């Protein structure tokens, strides 16, 4: 039953991301790639939407990028440390959703004339409610296996997701770029679903 629940969640998470990604990609095509052929039907403001940003958007992209990078690092640790199908499915869903988001955040920063993001965890404050794990946390997870690994991984990933949701809510409230805000809303919805599932698995 739990495996079915997690499999369904994984599919839903990827679907939510794909829908958001498709809508974003479509608007980008309409405003840029398709340019001349659609100029009569596409409002000029739509073409300028990606160029609209503020400090909150830049902070969101620069901080969420290393946050996602650590989540993907944690997801990669699952291989060889557990054969729990629920944890394996969650790790796969997390990587499938967050890697493309990292690529989109990198592209946004380039469009905005901002420095490229860094996956260096040292840039983030581990005690600021962002949910980032310390090196000691990561070392402890690396050393674990089996049920102990599952417990540590689920507990840490819940905290990590809660931090991502907090950061995304700030972007929703303070950001101005429509694509970044759309991603933030997707993060809130999908990661809250994953938190609920992980709490169920922990009992």
CA distance 124 to 160: 13
User: Do you know the residue count of the chain?
Assistant: 203
Q: Topology of 2-21+50-115+131-202 in CATH?
A: Ferritin (1.20.1260)
Q: What pLDDT does residue 119 have?
A: 83
- Measured between alpha carbons, how far is residue 104 from residues 34, 61, 62, 107, 149 in Å? 20, 9, 12, 5, 31
**pLDDT tops 80 at residue 107:** yes
Residue in this structure with the two tokens 């698995």, named with its chain if needed: 201
Yes or no: say if 198 and 159 are a contact pair by the CB < 8 Å rule: no
pLDDT in tens, 51-63: 799 999 999 999 9
Burial of 55 (0-12, 13-18, 19+ CB in 10 A): exposed
- pLDDT, residue 26, reads 42
Q: 203: which residues sit within 8 A by CB, 6+ positions away?
A: none
Q: Which of 6-10, 37-41, 123-127 has the lowest mean pLDDT?
A: 37-41
- Please give the DSSP secondary-structure letter assigned to residue 1: -
Q: What are the CA-CA distances from residue 51 to residues 2, 21, 36, 118 (Å)?
A: 44, 18, 19, 21
Q: What is the reported pTM?
A: 0.75
3-state secondary structure of 173: helix
**Are the C-beta atoms of residues 131 and 163 closer than 8 Å to each other?**
yes
Please indicate whether residue 86 or residue 14 has the higher confidence score (pLDDT).
Answer: 86
Place of tokens 């983030």: 124
Distance CA 160, CA 166 (A): 10
Nearest-CA neighbor of 201 among 17, 45, 3? 3
| Least confident residue range of 66-70, 88-92, 128-132, 195-199 | 128-132
What residue ranges do the domains of the chain occupy? 2-21+50-115+131-202
């Amino acid at each position: 039953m739990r495996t079915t629940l997690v499999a369904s969640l994984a599919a839903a998470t990827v679907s939510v991301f794909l829908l958001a990604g498709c809508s974003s990609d479509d608007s980008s095509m309409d405003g840029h790639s398709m340019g001349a052929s659609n100029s009569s039907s596409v409002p000029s403001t739509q073409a300028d939407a990606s160029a609209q940003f503020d400090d909150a958007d830049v902070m969101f992209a620069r901080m969420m990028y290393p946050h996602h990078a650590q989540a993907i690092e944690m997801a990669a640790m699952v291989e060889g440390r557990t054969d729990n199908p629920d944890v394996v499915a969650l790790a796969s869903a997390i990587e499938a959703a967050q890697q493309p988001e990292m690529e989109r955040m990198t592209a946004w920063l380039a469009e905005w004339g901002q420095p490229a993001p860094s996956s260096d965890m040292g840039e983030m404050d581990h005690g600021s409610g962002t949910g980032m794990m310390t090196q000691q946390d990561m070392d402890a997870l690396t050393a674990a296996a089996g049920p102990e690994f599952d417990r540590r991984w689920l507990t840490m990933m819940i905290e990590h997701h809660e931090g991502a949701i907090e950061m995304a809510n700030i972007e929703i409230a303070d950001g101005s770029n429509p694509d970044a805000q759309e991603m933030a809303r997707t993060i809130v919805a999908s990661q809250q679903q994953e938190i609920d599932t992980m709490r169920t698995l922990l009992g």
